[in-house]
Amino acid sequence: MIGIIAAKFQLFLRKPATFIIMTAISIAFAYMVGLSGQGKIEIPVYTALTNSEELVEHLNKSENFLFVKATKEEAEKEVREGQTVAAVQLSEEGYTIIHASDETSIPLINNELRLVYAKMLENKSILAQADKPDKVKAVLMEAEESPVFQVKQYNFKNDKEIVYDSRLYSLFGFSLYFVMYTIANNVYPIMEEKHNRIWDRLILSSVNKWEIYAGNLLFSFLIGYIQIVVIFCTFRYVAGVDFYGGFAKTFIVLIPYVLAIVALCILLASLAGSAGKYMSYLTITSVPLAMLGGAYWPLEIVTSKVMLFLAKITPVNYGMQLLNGATVNGYSYSELLEPMSILLLMAVIMMGIGINIIEKRNT
């Protein structure tokens, strides 16, 4: 079995194009849909202050708004043409918000500006009364970076409340979707090798049939698993995406999902019987599975009972539950046991049916 896996990896290294393309597409789609805007509303600001960089830097610590410097004419034009909800004129003593309509985000912008200006005026007042302003300024900066007291905010939430992070959701959805194609491209050669009687020659050697199956399926599993690991590591260490402390856990809960997809591809290959039909079945199956499983949008916003019922029989749904549960929801392994068990059951059933059909076709 080890020899079969080693041979598969040697062939893979000679032609890694499909793996690289699928990985790049997954990263590109997840970035464009979930990360391009970082979820922030862009607000143009203009000012006559010569040293406004520090003020704008403080404003951009906001989680909701991205303040971008512009000229007065550019800012007013964007507001007038409806390209932005508001623009802001900054001065040393205060600020002016310019907006064309009463958007719901105006009070939030005002609150962000008020907090920054209150802090800035407070520090200015302290420095004006200090005998040694430089030392006091250094103390204030140190206190801001390493405060003695840390305040954490908590709120009550309903158990059914949706916890949604657009960046992670897009990353998980597109990763689970495109890995189906990567695994599928490595499963179908099993059918071709059996059809071309390559397995018959292997069985004449000391290799058992179960070892041939195990080697091929384990290789397909490893390729799919490695692809998702590469994507997650790219977003974690290059794009700086926050996994809410569940980064390592995602790699463990992924295992049942990848196994289920390998089993699904075996089942499709056994039913198809030819390369053309196999790719058709894969295309027809993968897109609805991703949509019904919530890879593109949260299932919590779906009201159709039929779609919610169909979602219960799609592996993507349980894959999304596991990844979101391990990260944004902070679930423990015991709380994730149910979706993991369902995926393992799906893998056993589909793998059993698929291999049984393949064996019957060749007898």
Q: Quick one: pLDDT band at residue 40, thresholds 50, 70, 90?
A: low
- 223-239 pLDDT per residue, tens: 999 999 999 998 888 87
Within 13 Å, how many C-alpha atoms sit on residue 95's CB side?
A: 26
Coil/strand/helix, residue 63? coil
pLDDT bin (cut points 50, 70, 90) of residue 251 is very high
Stretch 200-213: mean pLDDT, rounded? 71
Residue type, 110: N
CA dist., res. 22 & res. 228, Å (int): 10
Distance, in Å, from the CA atom of 182 to the CA atom of 196, rounded to the nearest integer, reads: 23
Q: pLDDT band for position 320 (50/70/90)? A: very high
DSSP assignment of 21-55, as one string? HHHHHHHHHHIIIIISSTTPEEEEEEES-TT-HHH
Q: How many beta carbons lie within 10 A of that of residue 35, not counting itself? A: 19
| Helix, strand, coil content of the chain in percent (nearest 5) | 65, 5, 30
Q: Which two tokens stand for residue 197?
A: 């009687």
Instruction: Quote the mean pLDDT of the chain.
Output: 81
Band (pLDDT 50/70/90 cuts) for residue 10 is confident
- Residue 25 pLDDT > 80: yes
Query: How far apart are alpha carbons 170 and 295 in whole angstroms?
Result: 7
Instruction: Note every long-range contact of 231-239, with CB atoms under 8 Å and residues 24 or more positions apart, other chains counting.
Output: 231/23, 231/26, 231/27, 231/30, 231/171, 231/175, 232/171, 232/175, 234/27, 235/27, 235/30, 235/35, 235/171, 239/31, 239/35
Domains of the chain in start order, with CATH, are 1-36+163-361 (no CATH), 42-145 (3.40.190.10)
In 3D space, the residue among 281, 271, 338, 286 whose CA is nearest the CA of residue 316 turns out to be 286
Q: What is the average pLDDT across 142-160?
A: 59
**Which letter does DSSP use for residue 69 in this model?**
E
Give the pLDDT confidence of 165-206 residue by residue, as tens digits: 777 888 898 889 888 888 888 887 777 776 677 766 666 666
Question: Which amino acid, one-letter code, is at 315?
Answer: P
Which of 268, 71, 287 is CA-nearest to residue 184? 268
- Going by pLDDT thresholds of 50, 70 and 90, the confidence category of residue 149 is low
The pTM for the full model equals 0.69
Query: Contact at 8 Å (CB) between 265 and 220?
Result: yes
- The residue type at 265: C
